[in-house]
Amino acid sequence: MSSFADTTFTSPERIRNFCIIAHIDHGKSTLADRMLQLTGVLDERSYRDQYLDRMDIERERGITIKAQNVRLPWQVGGTDHVLHLIDTPGHVDFTYEVSRSLAACEGAILLVDAAQGIEAQTLANLYLAMEHDLHIIPVLNKIDLPAAEPDRYAAELAHIIGCDPGDVLRVSAKTGMGVRELLDEVVRQVPPPQGDADAPARALIFDSVYDTYRGVVTYIRVFDGKITPRQKIRMMSTGATHELLEVGIISPDPKPCSGLGVGEVGYLITGVKDVRQSKVGDTITLEKGGATEPLGGYRDPRPMVYAGLYPVDGSDYPVLREALDKLRLNDAALNYEPETSAALGFGFRCGFLGLLHLEITRDRLEREYGLDLISTAPNVVYRVVMEDGTEQVVTNPSDWPTGKIAEVHEPVVRTTIIAPSEFVGAIMELCQSRRGQLGGMDYLSESRVELRYTLPLAEIIFDFFDALKSRTRGYASLDYEEAGSQTANLVKVDILLQGEPVDAFSAIVHRDQAYAYGTKMATKLRELIPRQQFEVPIQAAIGSRVIARETIRAMRKDVLAKCYGGDITRKRKLLEKQKEGKKRMKMVGRVEVPQEAFVAALSTDETGDKGKSAKK
Amino acid sequence: MASVLPTGEPAPADGSLPPEALRGLGSRPFGVYVHVPFCATRCGYCDFNTYTPGELGSAASPASWLDGLRAELGLAARVLGQAPPADTVFVGGGTPSLLGAGGLADVLDAVRDAFGLAGGAEVTTEANPESTSPEFFAGIRAAGYTRVSLGMQSAAPHVLATLDRRHTPGRPVAAAGEARAAGFEHVNLDLIYGTPGETDDDLRASLDAALNAGVDHVSAYSLIVEDGTALARRVARGELPAPDDDVLADRYEIIDTTLTAAGLTWYEVSNWAASPGARCRHNLGYWLGADWWGAGPGAHSHVGGVRWWNLKHPARYAATLAEGRSPAAAREVLSADDRRLERVLLELRLADGLPVEVLDAGGRREARTAAAEGLLDPVALGSTNGAPGRCVLTARGRLLADAVVRRLVG
């Protein structure tokens, strides 16, 4: 259906750019869908739940990874307006992308579940929005739920953003109750974009997506001037120029248009094939008569967490390489290089923004490319200063220097945890055990508390979130942001099988935790590795100093007593099966280690059940 | 409910064999195995192809089985053409002694009718102690049997109870004495070790009892918890502990030490004999690639590199033969690689060992490593006197025989 919003170059005072800040499952996608429906851009028939969340993984995990945007018509008091809803990614690993989406908006709807209250991540994104001077409209969702406590959480929101509890809107995205009024308030409260239509063009890239058919689709918000098709544009961070093949808007399907003016949001297609050539946060200008000053805030995506990814079946290595090459087209933050592990064979050392980014990438590799992968324990990036004054950046424990180390710098993060106040003790204990420094504590309400800790990133990338959830019966929420680095007494612990170090199990840990790590791994491996024809010592060592030891006793019996009468066939087939099984073993020196032992040893699963089945 | 047959290619309905399989027939030892698929009751650990009267009902009987057996042996004689006389006959089961001396005499007559017996043929029947008597032994001796294999399993009452064995502890020893009194020079006692609840002392007592019975052969098998058996279900339910490999290794060492001290030496991983003449020639045929025709439900045969196996159920077995068709369920024609693999797998189990030349270069290298590790006898492996070397397992190597095989075949 057509509307006045189909035509671009709308006067800026009729435009409102806003986003929705919400926690997973607090109803952001439902609200967005409802807005699409009420503004008429999505009719009842094509309406489907969670329209804006496109990828399967996002849907399953209930999170939005990639921001989308949509142009909506809305009338208030008989005047036509254009609303640009910019969808923000919702996880801690994507803080930078969130900040670029926020930079494209003048206002934000703070959407909070009326039965649950605000969560740590929402709070972090709220603060981010406030730093960008966005106008905040507080909204409680799911007020139709029997468990809703709108008065309680309205008071909480009012306390946090410093407004009157009566200013907090109440909606049900599911039933549509209050959503029209909310759209009216967006027009009334969110300031219109400001910009100079006659100045050289400047547009912010807030998302960049690879499409198999069209190449890279770049989402932009125009700040000054205008962007029209068939011009040459310049990426201000690199100076690269591209032909503009198409400019368009999303409503909610892509539609080519005659261009975008001040304050408008839309997409560009230039024919580039890799999102690295069209980076989030970069400023676009025209090649001729272009701007000289970019919009602020650009930075290159920087991996914070590294892990090795290996195919379980070594012959899948080329498939993994191809899959990573394809994923990278759509993921400017993913980086990788080939790596060889004595234990795991050929794989890739991959850098990620954070643990979720790692998990999503791994998930997609397994699901979309049918790969079976082992990932090594993730580690952060260390800066190691040697006594001779030289420095090394270590992204892989295998590269830990052997000489005399003067100091080691590790990244730290500022962490925000929100939880019911009864769990404060448990949370403090956990953070303390992970070398956390308490930065502050605030009661958001009588029963909910916000704790701020500075923690080494290395301490939270492995199983911190799981530990936090289990100690708070699932009620705690967590957010973190980079906060520089600190020196720490870190050592590399190697795990040796029969004197041979197993690179996949080496870890950088705090000296006080080295013994615990060594003992844990040695015990785990004793359970996981089947007995061999000889005794196998398992040692944990710092350099040449052994700190823990276990022994796998030699296997004494491996013979079938009987040949089952004359049934030789059965015995030969059993032998052939065993030979096949042997091929899947990885050799560490003379020790045969089943692939499952590596998988289980590297998993965070503490129950040990996997170990028992792998032992067979 | 019994062990699962392998999968193979279809066997011809007339039972015919490829000409190359028949080549050389008679130049190798030729044996006949007869499978008796009947037991009075089913023991909880057993997954052999055997049936109780209750399981069979009127579908099959010893009489219909014997008719089928005669028909199959007749077919065998036709298929093999110039069939050599049988060097060995082995009647196993099931419980052959349930047929009685008369029944076993009929079985042997059927074999004689089909092939004849070679001079000095070894003719063995298995027997359960509780279904034997002096008259039984005298009867089968007169019929031409030369060797008896008795299922003793253990001398400990609680072990016999766990195994569902019905005989009283003293009965196997008494039966062995009766067999010897009836003129049997070669008597074997079968032992099972590692049964849940068995102690080292229980095992020693069983060995003492077996040795006191004056037999010239002992077989000792570790208890294997076979899928689908009542024992497996009890272990799965946690009622009984699964046999522990280290305990089984200890028990094997007790057995080997005790029997060796008493003058019985090992000639196969699970078999000990008082003299070379006391070794079971029929079973040696299995390990040395001899030809044999296995007759009866579920029986396995091997002739000249072709292995096949019969339909398992006695009723189907009898019905198929009654229609004039071969009872073979399926067969496989062994490739050269299969045959080499089998030689390593089987001959390595023997005290005489595996000739080194069967192995490829990698296998020979592994053999030397295994000798250095104390798994193979370095003297037998080396060719100090110019004779070709052989791979012979040491006592420790015997317990790791399957692992050694995997190494030798790469």
The interface pTM score, or ipTM, of the predicted complex is: 0.90
B268 shares its domain with B350: no
A73 shares its domain with A185: yes
**Beta-carbon separation of B400 and A558 below 8 A:** yes
Q: Is residue B14 part of a domain?
A: no
Q: Is residue B154 part of a domain?
A: yes
pLDDT at B140 over 50: yes
Q: CA A500 → CA A267, A379, A511, B70, B211, distances in Å?
A: 55, 22, 22, 64, 49
Q: Binding site for GTP, residues of A? A: 25-30, 141-144
pLDDT at A214 over 50: yes
Domain holding B377: CATH number? 1.10.10
pLDDT the model gives residue A1: 57
Q: What is the pLDDT of residues A6-19, one digit of tens each?
A: 889 999 999 999 99
pLDDT at A613 over 50: no
Query: What's the number of domains chain A is made of?
Result: 5
A111 shares its domain with A179: yes
> Is the bond into A40 cis (omega within 30 degrees of 0)?
no
Q: Is residue A91 part of a domain?
A: yes
A546 shares its domain with A453: no
Q: Is residue A546 part of a domain?
A: yes
A184 shares its domain with A229: no
Q: Is residue B396 part of a domain?
A: yes
> Is the bond into B62 cis (omega within 30 degrees of 0)?
no
pLDDT the model gives residue A171: 97
Mean pLDDT for chain B?
Answer: 93
Considering only A68-72, B61-65, B285-289, which range has the smallest mean pLDDT?
Answer: A68-72
Smallest Cβ–Cβ distance between B399 and the set A534, A557, A572 belongs to A557
Q: Is residue A573 part of a domain?
A: yes
pLDDT the model gives residue A125: 85
3-class DSSP state for residue A597? helix
**What percentage of chain B has pLDDT greater than the value 90?**
87
pLDDT at A51 over 60: no
Q: How confident is the model at residue B251 (pLDDT cuts 50, 70, 90)?
A: very high
Contacts of B332 in chain A (CB under 8 A): 569
Last residue of a domain, one of A448, A468, A488: A488
pLDDT the model gives residue A189: 97
B368 shares its domain with B272: no
Q: Is residue B402 part of a domain?
A: yes
pLDDT at A196 over 60: yes
b/e for A430-441, b at 16 or more Cβ within 10 A?
bbeebbbeeeee
Q: What is the pLDDT of residues B365-376, one digit of tens each?
A: 999 999 999 999
A276 shares its domain with A319: no
Q: What is the pLDDT of residues A301-349, one digit of tens each?
A: 778 899 999 998 889 999 999 999 988 887 878 889 999 987 788 999 9
Q: How far is CA B367 from the centre of its chain?
A: 28
Contacts of B301 in chain A (CB under 8 A): 566
Q: How confident is the model at residue A476 (pLDDT cuts 50, 70, 90)?
A: confident
pLDDT the model gives residue A487: 96
Q: Tokens at residue A612, please?
A: 């028992």
B72 shares its domain with B147: yes
A109 shares its domain with A254: no
A430 shares its domain with A524: no
A316 shares its domain with A369: yes
| A540 CA: distance to closest CA in chain B (Å) | 27
B122 shares its domain with B246: yes
A147 shares its domain with A238: no
Q: Is residue A584 part of a domain?
A: no
pLDDT the model gives residue B173: 95
3-class DSSP state for residue A50? coil
Last residue of a domain, one of A189, A212, A245: A189
Domain that holds residue B93: 19-287
Q: Let me know the angle formed at the C-alpha of A289 by A287 and A295, rounded to the nearest 5 degrees.
A: 75
Domain that holds residue A397: 383-488
Domain holding A556: CATH number? 3.30.70.2570
A95 shares its domain with A215: no
Mean pLDDT for chain A?
Answer: 87
pLDDT the model gives residue A295: 92
pLDDT the model gives residue A567: 87
pLDDT the model gives residue A454: 97
B363 shares its domain with B276: no
Q: Is residue B282 part of a domain?
A: yes
Q: Is residue A549 part of a domain?
A: yes
Q: Tokens at residue A552, please?
A: 């796998």
Average pLDDT (A597-604) is: 77
Q: Is residue B315 part of a domain?
A: no
Q: Is residue A455 part of a domain?
A: yes
pLDDT the model gives residue A301: 76
B197 shares its domain with B270: yes
Last residue of a domain, one of A456, A488, A520: A488
pLDDT the model gives residue A55: 46
Contacts of A534 in chain B (CB under 8 A): 373
Q: How confident is the model at residue B80 (pLDDT cuts 50, 70, 90)?
A: very high
pLDDT the model gives residue B345: 94
pLDDT at A44 over 80: no
Average pLDDT (B305-314) is: 96
- Dist CA B331 CA B333 (whole Å): 7
- Could you tell me which residues are beta bridge partners of residue B256? none
Q: Is residue A612 part of a domain?
A: no
Query: What's the number of domains chain B is made of?
Result: 2
Domain holding B71: CATH number? 3.20.20.70
Considering only A407-411, A482-486, B132-136, which range has the smallest mean pLDDT?
Answer: A482-486
Smallest Cβ–Cβ distance between A569 and the set B33, B220, B332 belongs to B332
Sheet arrangement for strand A265-269: A241-243, A232-235, A283-286, A202-211, A215-224, A265-269, A246-250, A254-256
Question: What is the DSSP track for A424-480?
Answer: HHHHHHHHHHTT-EEEEEEESSSSEEEEEEEEEHHHHTTTHHHHHHHHTTT--EEEE
Q: Is residue B345 part of a domain?
A: yes
A279 shares its domain with A367: no
pLDDT the model gives residue A45: 56
**What percentage of chain B has pLDDT greater than the value 70?**
98
Considering only A260-269, A309-318, A603-612, B149-158, which range has the smallest mean pLDDT?
Answer: A603-612
Q: Is residue B96 part of a domain?
A: yes
Q: Is residue A219 part of a domain?
A: yes
B28 shares its domain with B127: yes
A323 shares its domain with A217: no
Domain holding A483: CATH number? 3.30.70.240
Q: How confident is the model at residue A92 (pLDDT cuts 50, 70, 90)?
A: low
pLDDT the model gives residue B384: 59
Contacts across the A-B interface (CB distance below 8 Å):
104
